[in-house]
Amino acid sequence: MLAPEIVADTENSEIDVRELDLTDTASVRAFVDAWDEPLDLLVNNAGVMAIQELTLVENTWERQFATNFLGHFALTTGLRGALRLADGARVVSVSSSAHLFSPVVFDDIDFRFRPYDPLQAYGQSKTAVVLFGVAATSRWADDGITVNSVNPGAIATSLQRHVGGTLATPIELQKTPAQGASTSVMVATSRQLDGIGGRYFNNNQEAIAVDHRPTDITQLANSVASYALDLDVAERLWAIAARAVE
């Protein structure tokens, strides 16, 4: 297990809040265009979960896929120049153990033919998040940029608003927001991960790649689907995303 390091004191720091709508290409582009300095760290944390009815963004993309993946794809690729200038930048993308419930279904990403299922849609979007880290690290290694994904665990927040505000995870396995942030902080700061990308972490350690979904909930949380680490699949997804946000 890797130990998280405390590297920043925000008590006297200046906080700059800017508007950004991940489902609005113009909003993402405006944010990117306004950024004019090196960027050492980008944490892609925003997301939606288990929207109960099929909802399309711009009458095209399923909303969870659009928000959790495409919006962050547009943001991160748009900021590549700023990340390159930082000389050793890191990107941390928040995924979920739900990725084990669905690969990216390339023939029907937006549920135009198969019945819409909230968990499968959410899982697909979180698989896409992991695949982005695989492809981005492969493409950007020479720029000194690494991209990793994390599973924060089960945390009671407004993320569960579409499922009645409750967690299905047993209470003994639930986390506080601080505990959930621990893996993101570790991946963002640990010197043990210098130059390492395209990985998936949970509980401050790299997850175990599996070829089937574990039935034990503890094993589930500490696993990553092999299909989420496949570079060929990641490149296929990259091509689709690049066309979608151009």
Q: What pLDDT shows up at residue 218?
A: 84
pLDDT tens profile 191-245:
999 999 999 999 999 999 999 999 988 888 899 999 999 999 999 999 999 999 9
Question: What is the token pair recorded at 172?
Answer: 């003994």
User: Are 100 and 51 within 8 A, CB to CB?
Assistant: no
Bridge partners (DSSP) of residue 200 are: 149
The pLDDT of residue 175 = 73
The DSSP 8-state label assigned to residue 18 in this structure reads: -
Contacts (Cβ under 8 Å, ≥6 apart) of 6: none
Q: Which residues pair with 225 in a beta bridge?
A: 210
- The β-bridge partners of 92 are 43, 148
Catalytic residues: 122
The pLDDT, as a whole number, for residue 154 is: 61
Instruction: Give the per-residue pLDDT at 177.
Output: 78
Tell me how crowded residue 206 is: count the other CB atoms within 10 A of its CB: 18
What does the pLDDT read at residue 116?
Answer: 97
Q: Quick one: pLDDT at residue 6? A: 42
Segments of the chain scoring below 50 in pLDDT: 1-8, 164-165
What pLDDT sits at residue 4?
42
pTM, two decimals, is: 0.90
